[in-house]
Structure formats: C-alpha cells, structure tokens
Structure 1
Amino acid sequence: MSYTIKDVAKLANVSIATVSRVLNGQGGYSKATEEKVHLAIEELGYQPNAFARGLISNKSNTLGILFPEVSSQFSSKILRGVEEAAHCLNSSVIVCNTASHGQRTMKYLQLLTEKRVDGILFVSEMITEEYYKKLESMQIPVVLISTESYQYPLPYVKVDDKHAAFTATDYLIKMGHSKIGMISGNKDDIIAGQPRIDGYKQALAQRGLAIKDENIIHSNGFSFHDGLTGLPKLLEQSPDLTAVFAASDALALGAISAAYKLGIKIPDNLSIIGYDNLPIAEMSIPPLTTVAQPLEEMGIVAAEMLFTMMNQGRRVESRIIAHSVIERESVKKLILYDT
C-alpha cells in the first residue's frame, strides 16, 4: 500500500502542514513533534514525493550541469567535484552532454527548465546570445566552469589560460630549451585557444626568444588525433625544435604517439609538456609533465558558488584557480637558460 502525507499526519496526530515543515526542515515545531512525525514515517514506510515537496518549497534540490563531452576525463574530474559538493548540500545533479551543438544545448536547457532545477553549471563552452537569453528566462543562478563570457555578466571558475600557458612555456625555457614549438587548439576559440597561444608567445618574448609562425600548429580542437597529426606537421616545418608545448594533455599524448611512430625518443630527442593533468597523463610512456588544472577543486568551488547564489539570492565573485607544473619524465633538462 502506498501511503500519503495525509496518512503520516493522521498517525502522528499533527496537521499536514506540520509534516510538510518537518520534511523540509522549515522549523516551527517542537523536538517531540519532530520525533512523532519521523516515527510515523518509519512505521508507514512513507516515501516523500520529491516533485510534490518541490511544489511546496519551490525547490527541486537538483542542479543541471552541461558538458560538451561528458565521457572525457576532463569532464569526469569536474563532475566528481560538483557531485561531492551537491551531495553535502542534499542536492542531486542532472548531467547533460551537449556535444558542443547549439541545438542540443537548447534542448537540454528546455529539459532543465521542465525539471525545475535550482541552478545551472555550464562547462567549457562559449555562451551565445541564444543560450544567454534562455538562461535569463529561467530566472535561476548560473555559474560557468572552465570558460567565461566577456559579453554576459555570468560568474565563472577557471584557470587563467594565458598565464598557465606562459608557465608551461617558461618551464621549458628554464629547463634549457630555446627552440620551442606549440601544438595549439583552435585559434578562433577565445576561451582556451587564443589565450594559450598568447601565453606561449609572451613567455618567448619575455626571454628574448624569436616568435616564429612555423613553430606553431593550429589544430581544430584539443584531441588525441589533433596531436597525432599535428606533431609531424610541426617537425616538418621546424625540424630543429627541442621542445613542444601541447595545449592539452590529449594533444600531448597524440604527439608522443606520433613521435614513437617517427622513431623520436621522448624526452631524449624531443621534450613535451601538456596542459590539464588528466589521470591518463601519468599513465603515458614516458609519464607526461604537464600544467595542472585542479579540475575537481573547480567543480567543488563552482557548486558552492551556485549554492550561495541559490540560498542567499546574491551575485558572487568569479574565481581564478591556481595552476601548477606537475613534473614527470617527458621533459629533458638541457643547459639552463640564464634567468
């Protein structure tokens, strides 16, 4: 038999409104009353209807999170942080895989509207005018992760991509390299593409090293395949390079695979540094030196920011999370550059 909130109220000898307040932790009742309600719930085996409770409290206790690629290690690390924070605050997470397609993103935003989510986390994708108008119409808090919008006033959590790319390139210089190439993502990507290229160039310029177009390969994205095809092109253009900065770990791993096929030993013949510090980076041969984005921490921080906005109804400040170099075995130390 399926019992209702009315049955719980009758057995506990209280009003339906009191049972509702107990279920939603709203106060206004004694400890004895609370215990009677919980005993009645336990005796009847009553299961509160989350949707019905949401209608009363005007909360669904759910968040929506949109990823362009939900199966990637990048996304899974962020999701782990988000779910950890959400679990601690008694909320659930609805995960949406947009595949970077505008039409699919709009469909998911409509779905999240229908599910009455309390807030949205938007990961690693540019905010278009169409997305922003839809988000505005939902009238719920939104926090961006690993992306930002120059046009729309949405708080974000991310690493400073330009600074992190500068750090990666400068690390290679400090390890004695002066002939450094780059395999970048899409240069038209203003979030993670061009800023990482700018950081690479700034590091070279600051050390008085030449910036040459032939030392950069612009990929379509940040995938393993882009790195696999990118390294041979780069070395064909600039065969005297001693080191390469790859703008993602996937690019770096693709480059390491290409080097193996070309008979190039990493790091004896060519040093490679990546970007992200994904779990697979330490599994590669050799283990990949990389710039770490603390992805799990970014997920936790973003979720906590979202809950602050949901519970206090105020804007929060955007957060830049610190990056760091994780030294492994893919970079060889040459004669130190004069620092």
Structure 2
Amino acid sequence: MNPPTIKDVAKAADVSVATVSRVLHNLAGYSEKTKQKVMHAVEELGYQPNAIARGLINKRTQTIGVLFPNVSSSFSSDILHGIEEVAHEKGFSVIVCNTAEDGKRTLKYLQVLREKQVDGIVFTSEVLKDEYYQAIKEMRVPVVLVNTMSQKYMIPYVKVDDRQAAYQATDYLIQKGHRKIAMIGGTPRDQIAGIPRLDGYRQALNDNGIEYVESRVAYGNFSIESGREAMEKLLVEAPPFTALFAASDEMAIGAMGIAMEKGLKIPDDISIIGYDDLSLASMVFPPLTTIHQPLTTMGRLASEKLISLIEEDSDKVSSSIVSHHLVERQTVRQKL
C-alpha cells in the first residue's frame, strides 16, 4: 500500500491541496476550523510531509546548526534541551557541533553546516571572531548568540548579565561576614564570561571596602578538573581565605572535592558559591549554593528567535538579558 499523499489529506479534509500546504507550513489564509480538519486528516491517514519536497517549496531544509565548545558539559546539555524543545515544536531538526576548547574546530563545523544547507545557526559560549562572522555571512543564514554577545556585530543574543550576577554572588558572601574571599575565574582572556565575572567580583569587594588580592584569584576553563587544579593552587599559594566564589558550578564542585580531600569541612571551614545552577549543584553533598542561570529557557528563547528570523525572513529580533537569581543551599555559612 502506497503512503498517503497531500492529495489524500486534501480529499479527506474536503479542502484544496493548497489549503493543506498552507496549514502544514503555518501560513495564513484559513480558519481554525479548517486547520483542525486538516490536522485531523493528517493524523488519521498518518501523512508524513516529504522533507525534500517541502524544501523545494520553501527553499529550506528545516534544520538548524548549534555550535558548542563542549557538548558533553551539563551546561551545554541544559541549553541544548531548550533549543531542541522549540525546534521540535516548530518542525525543525538540530545538528549539534562540538567546536572544542578555544574554537579549534569552529570554522570546520561552519563549513559542514554550510554543506548541510542549514537554515540558521545558534552560536554559544564563544567569542564571535571575525572569521566566524564572515563564514556565517557567506552562508546567508540568520544566527543567534547564546551565553555570548558581540560588541562589533549587530547579532541578537540571549544571556544573563554576568558582571551583575558575579557581583551578587560575591556580595552574598560578604553579607555573610566573609572578607577573605578567593575566586576561581574562567580563562583570563575570556571576554564573554571570564572577564565580566571577575569584574563583578572585584567591584563587590571594592564597594564593601575590601582590598582585591590578585593571588586570591586562580583560573580554570569551567570544567570540574580545572576547578580542582585551581583550588589546589589557591590552597598552596593564596593568602588564607574563608570563602570562595567559583565562576561555574563545575569548577565549584571540583574545588569542593579538593577541599574535602585536604580535610576541610564545607561550609564550616570554607564557604563556596557557584554559578549556573546545574542539576549537579543540588546533587552534590553538601548541596551547592549558586547563581541560577535559566539555561533551558535561554535555549528556548534562542531557538524561538532563530526560527522567527528564518520563517519571517526578517532581521527584526531583539536581544534578551534574562534574569538570574541566587539559590541558597548548604555550602555557605554565616561567619561569626
């Protein structure tokens, strides 16, 4: 038995083929009652629109590309979950690319996405270098940034205010009575999350009359292992400290592991606050106090913006600074 065609759907719904096509492509020109009739016929017949034929009609492949520096991280998976939710709802497929640390494979994957003829790109957590922008511009597809932004190019983005969030984390420790506060930051030259979060930490210290001590800052790359290495360095080389702000939950969890291996109790001997509010943060012991980034929501927003740019063929999509908040758990104590 041959699979049902669009003509079969039209006959079952008692409408024209053109009307079925408009309904399936979310175009205007029909009533809600007609839409329900068409969708009922589609479901009853088990009709599956042919992706190639659909592409010939609207000159799209119904795919979007997503670029992550580290696909395996909890951070990336939470964002990806939001992106895929919306993409699935809108009838798009997602191609995920792992660009590796420092964007070692970014240009390679942009070429892959060009060959796949994706309709748009979600670019996350990296600096949008000139060569990346030029490659995307040559593809003539829209792009939306997540957890990053560009000062140079007018590209819509979705992110939190990293500087303000880091300020809140540090100020929280200060209000708990801590004045000797260390930090594990991102890579020193990272303009996206590293530098703004360090600036927020420094500003909170300054506003509370606390001297910034450079040796109390160590750097990682947002991974658990880099958090362990940075904490080892701080415990050996930094002046004594009673609290630590880590610029990611994974680095905070790595730091907690080293602290406990050294016989330090959390939060009795050292208070620790993270950044992201990954699912891991509530699973470790003691549960991690952290700054919540709505990562899945950020992914959904980015996907919605991108698909709007694709389907409406417009560049009128605004950027979004999403709200963050502090989540109190059990790794920070009031210093007596």
Q: Deviations over 1:52-96 (max 9, x none)?
A: 211112222222211111121101111111122222323222222
Asked if structure 1 preserves the Cα contact closer than 8 Å seen for 2:215 and 2:239, the reply is no
Q: Which position in structure 1 is the counterpart of 2:140?
A: 139
Q: TM-score of the superposition, structure 2-length normalised?
A: 0.88
Matches of residues 9-48 of structure 1 in structure 2 within 5 Å?
A: 20=21, 23-24=24-25, 26=27, 47-48=48-49
Q: Match of 1:325, SS?
A: strand
- Partner residue, 1:68: 69
CA drift of 1:19 comes to 6.4
Q: In 2, distance between residues paired with 1:271 and 1:34?
A: 57
SS at 1:244's partner residue? strand
Corresponding residue number in structure 2 for 1:116: 117
Which residue is 1:316 aligned to? Answer: 317
Deviations 1:97-133 (A, max 9, x none): 2224646322322232233322211111111111111
The correspondence of residues 284-295 of structure 1 with structure 2, limited to 5 A, is 284-295=284-295
- Report the CA distance between 1:164 and its aligned residue: 0.9
RMSD between superposed Cα atoms in Å: 2.9
| Alpha-carbon distance in structure 2 between the residues aligned to 1:29 and 1:218 | 58
User: Which secondary structure state, in structure 2, belongs to the residue aligned with residue 269 of structure 1?
Assistant: coil
Residue 276 (1) aligns with residue 276 (2): yes
SS at 2:151's partner residue?
Answer: coil
Give me the whole-angstrom Cα distance separating, in 1, the residues matched to 2:181 and 2:57: 61
Corresponding residue of 1:156: 157
Partner of 2:53: 52
SS in 2 for 1:176: coil
State the one-letter code of the partner of 1:298.
M
1:299 Cα deviation from its structure 2 partner: 0.9
Normalising to structure 1: TM-score of the pair? 0.88
Secondary structure at 2:105's aligned position in 1? helix
State the one-letter code of the partner of 1:194: I
Q: Following TM superposition, by how much is the alpha carbon of 1:268 offset from its aligned partner in structure 2, in angstroms?
A: 0.4
Instruction: Give the conservation status (yes or no) of the 8 Å contact 1:73–1:278.
Output: yes
TM-fit CA distance, 1:5: 5.0
Structure-2 separation of matches of 1:110 and 1:203: 43
Residues 311/253 of structure 1: CA separation in 2 closer, same or farther (3 Å cut) = same
Number of the residue aligned with 1:302: 302
Distance 1:172 1:209 in 2: 12
CA distance in 2: counterparts of 1:172 and 1:256, whole angstroms: 16
With over 3 angstroms needed to count, the CA separation of the structure-2 counterparts of 1:40 and 1:124, relative to structure 1, is closer
Once the two structures are TM-superposed, the CA of residue 314 in structure 1 deviates from its matched residue by: 2.6
> Are 2:96 and 1:95 aligned?
yes
Structure 1 residue 86 and structure 2 residue 73: aligned?
Answer: no
Identity %: 51
Superposed counterparts of 1:202-281, under 5 Å = 202-219=203-220, 221-281=221-281
Amino acid at match of 2:263: G
Cα pair distance change 1:279/1:28, threshold 3 Å: closer
Q: CA deviation at 1:302?
A: 1.2
Q: Does 1:107 align with 2:108?
A: yes
2:9–2:41 Cα contact (<8 Å) kept:
no
Measure how far apart 1:9 and its partner are. 9.2
Paired letter, 1:67? F
Letter in 1 for 2:198: I
Checking the alignment, whether the CA contact within 8 Å between 2:10 and 2:38 is kept in structure 1 is no
Cα 1:325–1:8 change in 2 (3 A) is same
Amino acid at match of 1:209: I
- Structure 1: distance between partners of 2:9 and 2:210: 77
How far is the alpha carbon of 1:171 from its aligned partner?
0.4
Q: Which whole-Å CA distance do the structure 1 matches of 2:48 and 2:86 have between them?
A: 24
1:35 Cα deviation from its structure 2 partner: 6.1
- Relative to structure 1, is the Cα distance of residues 36 and 143 closer, same or farther in structure 2, using a 3 angstrom cutoff? closer
Q: What is the distance in 2 between the residues matched to 1:37 and 1:263? A: 63
In structure 2, do the counterparts of structure 1 residues 190 and 42 end up closer, same or farther at CA, with 3 Å as the change threshold? same
For residue 157 of structure 1, give the secondary structure of its aligned residue in structure 2: strand
**Structure 1 residues 264, 136: closer, same or farther in 2, change over 3 A?**
same
CA distance in 2, matches of 1:35, 1:332: 61
Distance 2:18 2:164 in 1: 55
For the 8 Å contact 1:100–1:125, the answer to whether it is kept is no
Structure 1 gaps of 5+ residues are none
Please give the alpha-carbon distance, in whole angstroms, between the structure 1 residues aligned to 2:181 and 2:42.
71
Compared with structure 1, are the counterparts of its residues 100 and 213 closer, same or farther at alpha carbon in structure 2 (3 Å cutoff)?
closer
For the 8 Å contact 2:9–2:38, the answer to whether it is kept is: no
